[in-house]
Structure 1
C-alpha cells in the first residue's frame, strides 16, 4: 500500500471551444504516443498556482499570470501510476505566447482539440478531469473501485 499521494497540476488552456493537448513520448508503452494536458508534479515548497504556471511555461512555452488560473476540478486518482494522485485542474483563458513544444524529448506534438470531442487516445486520468470540467463537476474519483 502506498504511504503517500502525489499532487499533480493540470493546465487547461482553453481557446473558445478548444483545449490544448500534448502527445507524450514515454518509456512506458501505456502512455507513449497518447494525449495529455500540460501538467506535472508539485515540487516541494511550491504552491499549486506556481506549479501550474511553471509547467505551462516549461511544456508549451506560454506565460500565465497566477490570477488568470481558475481551479475547475480536483480528481483523486488511483492506478495512474505507482502511487495514488491528487490532480488539481486549472483553467486558463488568458496567457501570453503561442503554445509550442518546449520539451521534444517528452512530447511529440502539441495540438488543439474540441473540448467536447477529445481524441480517443487521451490518457484516462486527464480524460476524467477534462470530462468532469466539461460537465461542471468540481470533484471526482478515478480508479478507486
Structure 2
C-alpha cells in the first residue's frame, strides 16, 4: 500500500496554498496540495517536512504539524493519504519544482479552484466538516 502526505499550509487569513500541476502526465492543470510519497524508514511527519522543503522551499518544525485527515483511497490498488495542517513555518513559499508545477496560489476553503484532483477536493470537504477519516473510490 502506498502512503502519501498532503500539506495544508495555512496563512493568517485561513487560506491554503496549492500548486498547479504541469508536465506530469497526471491531472496537469489541476490544483493540488503540496504532497508526496513516504520513503522507506520515514515517518509521515518527516515526509511532510521533507516534501515542504522540496516542493515549496519552506522549513517546518515537526512540532508545528497538526493532523487534519486520513483517507483510504482505492487508486493504484489502495493508498493511504495523510493530510496535515501547518500554520507556522519559516521562509516564503516558492515554486521549487517548475518542471512539475506552473503556479502557486492561495485559496479559501469556500472558494477552491474549479480544477482540482477529485480525491483531494473530497478530503478538503471532510476536513472543513471536521471529519478525520474517509474512504474514497471503494
Q: TM-score range by the shorter chain?
A: over 0.9
Matched, 1:120 2:103: no
Q: Deviations over 1:32-63 (max 9, x none)?
A: 11110000000001011000000011001111
CA contact (8 A) 1:21 1:110 kept: yes
More helix by share: 2
Q: CA deviation at 1:27?
A: 3.8
* RMSD of aligned residue pairs (Cα, Å): 1.1
The aligned residue for residue 137 of structure 1 is: 131
User: Structure 1 unaligned runs (5+)?
Assistant: none
2:47 counterpart residue number: 51
CA distance in 2, matches of 1:40, 1:94: 20
Which structure 2 residue ranges, 5 or more long, are not aligned? none
CA-CA distance at 1:78 after TM superposition: 1.3
Tell me the equivalent position of 1:17: 14
Q: Residue in 1 aligned with 2:58?
A: 62
Could you tell me how far apart the structure 2 residues matched to 1:59 and 1:45 are?
20
Q: State the partner residue of 1:107.
A: 101
Contact 1:77/1:84 (8 A) holds in 2: yes
On the 8 A contact 2:24/2:100 being kept in 1, the answer is no
Change (3 A) 1:115 1:40: same
Contact map agreement 1:116 1:134 (CA 8 A) in 2: no
With normalisation by structure 1, the TM-score equals 0.90
CA contact (8 A) 2:95 2:103 kept: yes
TM-score, length-normalised on structure 2? 0.95
Structure 1 counterpart SS, 2:104: strand
Aligned pair partner of 2:36 in 40, 45, 60: 40
